[in-house]
Amino acid sequence: MNYIIIIIAILFSSISHANPYENLKTVQGISGEIQTGDEIQKYSYYGKDLKYVDKYLEIASKASIDMLENDYNLKKCKNINLEILDISMNEMNNRQVNTGPNWDGLQLNKIVGFYDSITVPGTGVIEIPNDVSKSLKAETIAHEIAHYWQDVYCFKNDYHKQFESFAIKIEDSIR
């Protein structure tokens, strides 16, 4: 009988290690909704500032969808779950805790925000900072949610630059 218990425990610990972002979920997740015209995109939010975050997620989502549909003639091509981790800059940049990002590949010393839909299949994970100025926080929300919508609309581009310039344009939508 003891064997079974040990095996189950090992299985669970390997499952939890499969999602590196679980380490960063230090508060209970709450669900939020982004309303974009006639559609609603649900998300799980881990942080203490849902109202503020939700406001900018919505403004930047509308701007992103508008640009993808009207400037790029794209249509939604897939559903991706969305998780928002609202964490400190220390947690975000602690490579022992935040093991999701491919730090060596990023070639950056410090990040302010992050979007990843590769590590956890079917889920887009956004990291935003909770200890920066309100304006930088809002810009980061706008930038990262723009990457999420690029993903949902299968925004394909040969040049990484266009991926970034799109997200930078969306930052303007909240100013």
- Residues forming contacts to Zn ion in the complex (CB under 5 A) are 164, 167
In the complex, which residue's CB is closest to Zn ion?
167
Closer to Zn ion by Cβ: residue 8 or 136:
136
The rounded distance, in Å, linking the Cα atoms of 57 and 34 is 7
Instruction: For Zn ion, give the closer residue by CB, 50 or 119.
Output: 119
Helix (H) or strand (E) holding 91: helix 89-93
CB of 59 vs Zn ion, minimal distance in Å:
18
Q: Which C-beta is closer to Zn ion: that of 95 or that of 160? A: 160
- Three-class SS of 13-80: HHHHHHCHHHHHCCCCCEEEEEEECCEEEEEEEECCCHHHHHHHHHHHHHHHHHHHHHHCCCCCCCCC
- CB of residue 144 to Zn ion, shortest distance in Å: 7
Which residues are bridge partners to 41 per DSSP? 34
Torsion 90-94-99-105 (CA) sign: positive
Give the pairing type, strands 114-116 and 123-129. antiparallel
Q: How far apart are CA 163 and CA 159, in angstroms?
A: 7
Side chain identity at 94, as an amino acid letter?
N
Q: What minimum distance in Å lies between the beta carbon of 169 and Zn ion?
A: 11
Least distance in angstroms from the C-beta of 10 to Zn ion: 38
Shortest Å, Cβ 105 to Zn ion: 14
Question: In terms of CB distance, is 62 or 169 closer to Zn ion?
Answer: 169
